[in-house]
Amino acid sequence: MFGTDGIRGIPYKSPLTSYEIKKIGFSISQIIKNKELNIESVFIARDTRKSCDFIVKNLKIGLNKGNIGIIDLGVLPTAAISIFIEKYKYHFGIMVTASHNAHKYNGIKIFNYHGEKISDKDQKKIETFYKSLGIEKYNSNNKMNVTYKNAQYEYINLILEKFKNNINSKLKIGIDLANGASHKITKLILDKVNVDASIISNSPNGKNINLKSGVENTLKLKQLVKRKKLDLGVAIDGDADRVVFLDFRGDIIKGDQIMQFFAKKILKRNLPLVTTIMTNNKIEDNLKSKKIRIIQTDVGDRNVYFEMLKNGSNFGGENSGHYIFKDFLKTSDANFTMLKLLSLVKSRIDINKISNIKLNPSCLKSFEIKRKKPIEKIEFIRKYKKKFHNKYKDYYLNIRYSGTESKIRILIQGPSMKIIKNEIKLFGMLLVQNKL
């Protein structure tokens, strides 16, 4: 049921049919009750997908059956759930979103009463209870549910409260809001800190979230940056937890470069940088002079956060655009990350220095697949990996399924981009031949 970041699928189809969503809501209520914390309600927020109302409606019915009400925060970034839980205590939280995915997808992210994304253990409990359910009858109890009308403005104030740095930025910036959860909020935040920005993709219609926009589609933002001769581009995804930066040329600044920059500026003495197995292996060499060690974990900002907790680190992230500043937030937030960068860079030259950080040649490629068999049991992939490792001693190879889509991803890092591209092309041909 659960992938890298919650439950995800196509609304009206399994696992997001009306009945299944009610079951999910009821299962969440039982996990909450098992905590014995006297929790009576959960915070719920959503992005701008048309299907969000359908999912919220059915989650509400399922939660109500388990005597849990909802506090509906409306359209908000994912991190708002965590922030509201932290402020008001003794609540769980649910974010209805499919993040960077197209509008036809949707999903459910769940937060515990600490404001953290729930653990693997709690995910398993929810799934186990869900599977144990027979044919249940569900009825809504609207007396248990309320709408929180000023949530957007409260989120803005809470973010700025956490953000203590001064911004004296004279940078000219462009922002792509992906027609998503932060389509109003980012502009209001920037107005409060006196930063002027050119903004695009801020008119959601229920179907255009992430459409030719956002972190996975930066062409429009690149054109804006070049046309207006801006210093910095900022692309935010559908639920505003990921952010991608562009330099004055409109070229993407790699997430690993951003991560290294923040690590040098923010990490406290003798604490590690926590990142994932997808991180460029050159970062470790680059940070040796600062005596910063690297700890890698599985893909997913949730995994990064729990590894940070385990190792006492105050900063970590993923090169996909998740950055976690643990002294302030328990999950990633695009608006906070943007403010943090704007407080640390003063000129186009500073941004250029980040984009010039040396990394090893690297390429990540995703391929559509029909089914997900355990990778370790797929013979042609096993043979490919063995042959690759025997042939290329100085290269890094990672093959994994997407946790949110029907895709397989291959990452190769090493001295020669030509070799990397040839190997990825070969892998793609093997996928076709073996009809995965």
Q: What residues are annotated to the active site? A: 99
User: How far apart, in whole angstroms, are the C-alpha atoms of residue 161 and residue 259?
Assistant: 23
Taking each helix axis as running N to C, give the angle between helix 185-192 and helix 151-162, from 0 to 180 degrees, rounded to the nearest 10. 50
The radius of gyration of the chain's CA atoms, rounded to the nearest angstrom, is 22
Q: Are 26 and 133 in contact (CB under 8 A)?
A: yes
Residue 84 CB contacts under 8 Å (≥ 6 apart), including other chains: 43, 73, 91, 93, 151, 154, 155, 158
CA 322 to mean position of chain CA atoms: 6
Helix (H, G, I), strand (E, B) or coil at 127: helix
* Neighbour order of strands in the sheet with 6-9: 2-3, 6-9, 106-111, 92-96, 41-46, 69-75, 146-147
Distance CA 301, CA 279 (A): 13
CA distance 411 to 266: 28
- Backbone dihedral region for residue 417 (phi beyond 0: left; psi -120 to 50: alpha; all else: beta): alpha
What do you get for the CA distance between the two ends of the chain, in Å? 21
DSSP 8-class letter at 318: -
